[in-house]
Homo-oligomer: A and B are copies of this chain.
Amino acid sequence: MSLIVQKYGGSSVSDAESIKRVAKRIVETRKAGNDVVVAVSAMGDTTDELLDLAHEVTPIPDPRELDMLLTTGERISMALLAMAIKSMGVEARSYTGSQAGMITDARHGSARIVDVTPVRLREALDEGAIAIVAGFQGFNRDSKDITTLGRGGSDTTAVALAAALGADVCEIYTDVDGVFTADPRVVPRAHKIERITSEEMLELAAAGAKVLYIRAVEYARRHGVLLHVRSSFNNNEGTWVTADYPRTEEGTAMEEPIITGVAGDLNEAKITVVGVPDVPGKAADIFAIVAKTGANIDMIVQNVSAAATGRTDISFTLPKGEGEKVLTALRTTQAEVGFASLQYDDQIGKLAVVGAGMRTSAGVSAQLFRALSDAGINIEMISTSEIRISVVTRADTLHEAMRVVHSAFGLDSDEVAVVHAGTGR
């Protein structure tokens, strides 16, 4: 008998009808002989609506009270889901984050899981019942307060439960068939990936792919949880996210694709610190100032110093929303650091190709740069890791660049992908 943990997102439980549909699916999984634990998000846009309500009351909602408010969304959906399953004649019980043993630190709004002690869930499973758990929330032992886990919290809840319970698989249900080689709304010939490693998934998610949250993927990787991303609208096999590709006795990876997927991101901006004195320590100074703002820096590129001027330019990318505070921080230290000026560019697009196989294949970068230049697309920044190559282009050429690269690496499917309405999460 398998133990399966399933996660259903907000669009899967947006109203009474879909709740009943999801309940039916859960019951079928149970009746197939599996033990089942479910992590569920709030219905539809409930979380955003509650956030709006809070902001109607005050522009700066108290963090503790905000967590108390937001967690009601998951409580509503978990109770309705348990009711629906019970009305189908199958035993089911709902559990809050606290009741499920999801113990966190005290950081309201972005709590970290410190321990998972699912005693009541095991009891429920031993009695043959289905356990429905409120996603996105936990409990802090010291303050005895409810906490929320931040973005992607329900995915993280599901994975954490799967790890603590030793589940055979953690199924993440979404409104698309799985993880695609590229966003099918941008690249019509994208196809569903059958299998991907968590390392590749992390890179894809960090590069802009929106199906799974980085944090949940990382937790799964660290705790050895097998993920299966699939559609809640059909019974098709989805995308398996595993620790690694199968290897031969010699250690050669079998079926390791060179490029698994292509991701694009239009949410970043570029800041260039122009004319930095080419003296040891300047880069460290600049990024210390940036770090103090708490901004999330992505790509960093430092040009070679121009011998004539003894100065260099340093560019970095970051989420658009964080540009203002970083520019402000840098301006106030301009004299101290001694740079000439600042440039801000929010018309960039970031493209990444990800593949475990690139580790052992030469020429992937060359192939990428050739494909883009053949299409007349200019590359402005380059950044690489072992299994990922990222480039920055103009924002208005990003989507075309994604399609060009997708074809160049042989990822195009014969069919045009079917795109369901929805966020892909």
Which chain A residues have a beta carbon within 8 Å of chain B's beta carbons? 16, 19-20, 50, 53-54, 56-62, 64-66, 68-69, 71-72, 75-76, 78-80, 82-84, 86-87, 93-94, 99, 120, 144
Contacts and interface: CB of A to CB of B under 8 A. Distances in A.
A62 B83 contact: yes
Most B CB within 10 A of own CB, among A16, A19, A144: A16
B84 A58 contact: yes
A69 B62 contact: no
Q: Is the interface of A mostly helix, strand, loop or mixed?
A: helix
Contacts of A65: 79-80, 82-83, 86, 93-94
B50 A87 contact: no
Given A64-B93, A94-B65, A144-B99, A57 B72 contact: no
Number of copies of this chain in the oligomer? 2
A58 B83 contact: yes
Given A16-B56, A54-B83, A69 B75 contact: yes
Contact of A54 (B54, B56, B80): B80
A16 B83 contact: no
A114 to B, nearest CB: 21
A24 to B, nearest CB: 12
A286 to B, nearest CB: 37
A80 B57 contact: yes
Contacts of A53: 16, 76, 80
Contacts of A75: 68-69, 71-72, 75
Contact of A68 (B59, B61, B79): B79
A213 B126 CA distance: 43
Given A53-B80, A72-B76, 9 more contacts: A16-B56, A54-B79, A57-B83, A57-B87, A61-B87, A62-B86, A65-B80, A65-B93, A72-B72
B86 A79 contact: no
Most B CB within 10 A of own CB, among A56, A64, A80, A99: A80
Nearest to A19: B57
